Structure 1
């Protein structure tokens, strides 16, 4: 009798998802249906996009010999005039840092206006989101050409182009972080009678700053690669030297410049890892935490823990880098305002848009561009998921595997898509397939790092639960 009762209770616990063998299935909720439908639709669209651009593995296999010949022309790498290359590399790094700082300065107030839980009204929210979307939609090269035409060749157009385009990413991610913040701290601050500004500063900022710092560091990485390409249109940096090497078909010199870029990005990667460890580390305990010092009033000063000292040191280092960038690059902030009329004049020539040159080919070109993006993203996802998981410190089965995967992601991220495009054009010829392959392979550096960073932030509880019942590495992973 007892046995029968227990069986009935177990059956009720399992629910309708029981298959009869004791296996549990998650319930078929609306979110699961939408997720599966979106996944199937994405697969169908990707397949249709691949067919439309005639993407096939055969073309890559046929062009393998041409790729080998091109790589042989790149070896051994050559470095002409190292002092000049080093100076241009430092200039590129400073352009990336300064552009990201400008973008952050614009994105922080814009993010509060573009977040639903902090925007004053719907109109302001829609306007702020529209500005962010516009900055993300306009390519950085278009911004660079605009500023170069208005201000002349130099580093300031590159800085401004990076800043405006970066607002599209930073503003969106900053606003998303604000929307995901908990309402409790804001309500607690509001209950003390504090005003709206105090509510945001004390109730929202402490929750989102770690995410913002991580995004800021990652955007510097992206802008460093972008600033290399901007040099091709006269926006300063090491792109000048790379353009000369490619235009003269001196591929071994181009590879030498790419190696310099890899070294810079490797240094940024190590700095990024250190900062992320600091942000993801649990709060100090015990004697390290100490007691907060109380002054004469009700204000409490937080203790100077190792974590707080590290963050203060990072802020001071960034401030020094910004000051050095202005001096080293000889940037006068007043030039932005004095050139405003020229910028408006050049931008005014873009309006109204004229489609007579492209004619009936515009629709076809848009469809082909979307198809290239779909195929490239699919290639990047398929390659980035395994590489990114192995590049996560808490997932990789061995330290050597971790460093190998991290190094692969870093090297791919350091190679500009333009170089990858040259390789694939040499192998396949001109056309959308070469572009899809270059973008797909290049996205490993972006998606692989995102996957690895996201995996390192997961809660270790579920993995420990699987391990406690005897599950191996594969079981933990899945």
Structure 2
């Protein structure tokens, strides 16, 4: 992976460039079979057909009918009318909760970044220590990535009690999975020559890692951590729904008391906070990251007067200042987590009781049915979200539609929709439509549409323009240009990003039941609240198995398609 921030996408890992998306092809073109047309892999046809089959079943299971959708839209419209005009209530109280949300995200992201350095180093295939350590590190990364942050929040509230400490730890544990996996990939993709040179002069393992692997990975790692912070602010905004602090507490109180106008004001406050932080994250990424081109390498220091002495330049000063500011913010955020000795003293006993209660895990028919419903909701929502997102992406790029105001409006709408967490949509739909998977399906469909449209728009903007220009020179119309010049290049990204959208939807569907929107989340919340930890363990194991299985399918598909 390059140190460029452009290689970091919302998929949590590097999204291959167009030129790498087909085995043996150039500029995104499929490698042709000898004497015949380009070969279409089984994954290219099989994965869309599998989605279609699951969606047909999901339409029946969730009871998605045109009449029900029309009636639901009417109910949602009436609820939205009750939310206008939005009010915020006491502004100081709302501001305090908003800042608490920010401190939870900063503290959790910082803790995850520190832990991920060690886990990624141990999980990398270049690790020369005991194999058992590598397996343990890989296992921790897999498990923490599979369990959503809201589920971690439920468990940590049980261990540490209500408040922001549980929220920060939930953010940290879940983020370790993504940051650790990505850092491990960055470490593995580095050329081995500097590592071998340092080892040859007698440096020990730690000296070698710090002076070669870690320093060269810092630009990409900084971009990754900044991006993860953006995700974590979105996640921490709703942790208050399970008592883990932040602005979600106010949102739950407002909806629970049917004060929908205040709920709307809180949702708008969350969106504004997320949009501001997204802009700040983008600007900081540009400031701290080094972009390598084909003639230069990303490097941490400028040349000094002597070869052995690193020098200072504007870029290094900015990075140093940004690093110092980030460290100060992280330390300050840790001080805002309401940590006290009494809580920490009780935590060990609570954690021991919780973990002891996990054995043996219990798998009931209700658990299997809940996980099954979560999977059906996720895949059905992904299918509709991908279709709608593809339409939005096509209308947002110049390859088919050249009306700039339309593209700008659609992109702004997607940014706004992405600013609202999934579970907030679920809360609104449950309030309007009642309990059940239909509300969860609608919430996930909106989320999948916004996510897929962003992925697809970014991919369509980066396709090779040469085939497009050639078709334009022959007088082809816009539809012909898209079908023949754009779509063949876009297929690998379409498949890969659709799979990743499913992965995220599955994680979210597992927690929407907490607010009554179907799936296994209700059972999970209930099992923790009633101290049925064996059932909790069974649910967590089931979710991990399903998520790991989906990731395995995604890896297979990428090998076949990308």
TM-score tier by shorter-chain length is 0.7 to 0.9
Partner of 1:220: 229
Q: What does 1:111-150 correspond to in 2, within 5 Å?
A: 111-118=120-127, 120-150=129-159
User: Per-residue CA shift, 1:350-385, capped at 9, x if unaligned?
Assistant: 322234xxx433333332222212122333333445
3-state SS, counterpart of residue 237 of structure 2: helix
Q: Distance in 1 between matches of 2:46 and 2:30?
A: 23
Partner of 2:387: 382
- Judged with a 3 Å threshold, the aligned counterparts in structure 2 of structure 1 residues 107 and 390 are, in CA distance, closer, same or farther, namely farther
Match of 2:57 in 1: 52
Give the superposition deviation at 1:245: 0.6
Contact 2:426 2:439 in 1 (8 A): yes
1:274 equivalent in structure 2: 283
C-alpha contact (below 8 Å) 1:412/1:444 kept by paired residues: no
CA RMSD of aligned residues (A): 3.7
Q: 2:92 & 2:181 partners in 1: Cα distance?
A: 39
**Pairing partner for 2:359 from 333, 351, 356:** 351
CA contact (8 A) 1:67 1:424 kept: yes
Quote the residue 1:314 is aligned against: 322
Find the counterpart in structure 1 of residue 493 from structure 2.
none
Please state if 1:181 is matched with 2:190: yes
Work out the CA distance in 2 between the residues paired with 1:71 and 1:344: 45
Residue in structure 1 matching 2:84, options 72, 75, 81: 75
Q: 1:268, 1:395 → 2: CA distance? A: 32
Is residue 238 of structure 1 aligned with residue 238 of structure 2?
Answer: no
Alignment check: 8 A CA contact 1:78 1:256 kept: yes
Q: Report the Cα offset of residue 93 of structure 1.
A: 0.7
Q: Which runs of 5 or more residues in structure 2 are unaligned?
A: 1-28, 488-562
Q: Which has the higher contact order (CA 8 A, sep 6+)?
A: 2
Structure 1 residues 163, 25: closer, same or farther in 2, change over 3 A?
A: closer
How far apart are residue 273 of structure 1 and its match?
Answer: 1.7
Counterpart position of 2:502? none
Using the size of structure 1 for normalisation, the TM-score is 0.79
1:191 Cα deviation from its structure 2 partner: 4.5
The alignment status of 1:418 with 2:423, answered yes or no, reads: yes
Q: In structure 2, what is the equivalent of residue 294 of structure 1?
A: 305
Are the equivalent residues in 2 in contact too, given 1:390–1:452 (CA < 8 A)?
no
Aligned residue pairs total 440
Cα distance, 1:323 vs structure 2: 2.7
| In 2, Cα distance between equivalents of 1:450 and 1:280 | 23
Q: Per-residue displacement from partner, 1:127-180 (whole Å, max 9, x unpaired)?
A: 211111111223323322222222221211111111111112211222222223
Which has more radius of gyration?
1
- Name the counterpart of 1:37: 42
**Is 1:229 aligned to 2:238, yes or no?**
yes
Indicate the residue corresponding to 1:433 in structure 2. Answer: 438
Change in CA separation of 1:119 and 1:262 when aligned onto 2, cut-off 3 Å = farther
Distance 1:76 1:175, change over 3 A: same
Would the aligned equivalents of 1:392 and 1:453 in 2 still touch at CA under 8 Å?
A: no
Question: Cα deviation per residue 1:323-363 (whole Å; 9 max; x = unaligned)?
Answer: 322344444599657733332223322322234xxx43333
Q: 1:367 to 1:254 in 2, by over 3 A?
A: same
TM-score, L = length of structure 2? 0.68
After superposition, the C-alpha distances for 1:423-467 in whole angstroms (9 at most, x for unaligned) are 4345655433332221121234545555566778x6x9x447966
Paired position in structure 1 for 2:98: 89
Alignment match of 2:170 (pick from 161, 177, 180): 161
Take 2:340 and 2:401, find their aligned partners in 1: how far apart are those partners? 47
Shift of 1:417: 1.6
| 335-344 vs 210-219, which moves further | 335-344
Q: Given the superposition, is the C-alpha separation of residues 273 and 46 from structure 1 closer, same or farther in structure 2, using an over 3 Å criterion?
A: same
In structure 1, the residue corresponding to 2:238 is in which secondary structure? helix
Matches within 5 A, 1:320-339: 320-331=328-339, 336=344, 339=347
Alignment check: 8 A CA contact 2:301 2:311 kept: no
Indicate which of 251, 260, 265 corresponds to 2:269. Answer: 260
Report SS of the residue matched to 2:244: coil
**SS of the counterpart of 2:378?**
helix
User: Does the alignment pair 1:108 with 2:117?
Assistant: yes
Partners in 2 of 1:434 and 1:150 — Cα distance? 31
Residue 373 of structure 1 aligns with which residue? 378
